Amino acid sequence: MEGTIEYKMVSVNGINMHIAENGNGPVVLLLHRFPELWYIWRHQIHILTAHGYRPVAPDLRGYGDMDAPPSINSYTSLHTVGDLIVVIDHLEQEQPGEIEADIARAGIETVLKRFLTFHNPRPLMIPRDKGLAPDGQIRLLSWLSEKDLYYYISNRGFTGGINYFRAFDLYVCP
């Protein structure tokens, strides 16, 4: 067994959520079902920690050491998801994905120039071994000024837009 399980109370959506956690790696969120508690995961917490993960097992709304709102309207799946989103935000686990890391290495300006000046009828292919780094200097097209490019660079980045592609299949019915 690796380390001691730590217990915390996290304020979520006006109530207190009890979580059990261990480790320092990527988060693995372990959710119990009826009639269990976080405790059902106690053995897996140690195994996951030994393999480099940070397992987090909350007591869900109304279970164990978590607050139990009196209204049954406070127990919808939307409440559960909302509580878990707050927990994940509390854990500060927002890690850049592979594409964001590649964009950071190449630089936003370079990536935007590459995408905005691509004029081949075939899709833009990005070789894994080369990433987004350019082969040579990228010339702006006549319709794209440095001022235009700077406007794109200074507004948000890529994660939001990329997330639309990541979520593409989430709501497609089989």
Output the domain CATH number for residue 35.
3.40.50.1820
Give a three-class secondary structure readout of the chain.
Answer: CCCCCEEEEEEECCEEEEEEECCCCCEEECCCCCCCCHHHHHHHHHHHHHCCCEEEEECCCCCCCCCCCCCHHHHCHHHHHHHHHHHHHHCCCCCCCHHHHHHHHHCHHHHHHHHHCCCCCCCCCCCCCCCCCCCCCCCCCCCCCHHHHHHHHCCCCCHHHHHHHHCCCCCCCC
Is residue 1 in a domain?
no
- Is residue 79 domain-shared with residue 130, that is, in the same domain? no
Condensed to tens digits (0 to 9), the pLDDT of residues 37-86 reads 899 999 999 999 988 889 999 999 988 888 888 888 888 888 888 999 89
70 and 130 housed in the same domain: no
- Please write the tens of the pLDDT for every residue from 109-158: 888 787 777 777 776 666 666 666 667 778 887 887 888 877 777 665 66
Q: Is residue 31 part of a domain?
A: yes
Q: By residue range, what is the domain housing residue 81?
A: 6-90
Query: pLDDT of 4-40, one tens digit each?
Result: 999 999 999 999 999 999 998 888 899 988 878 899 9
Domain boundary among 58, 90, 122: 90
Last residue of a domain, one of 72, 90, 108: 90
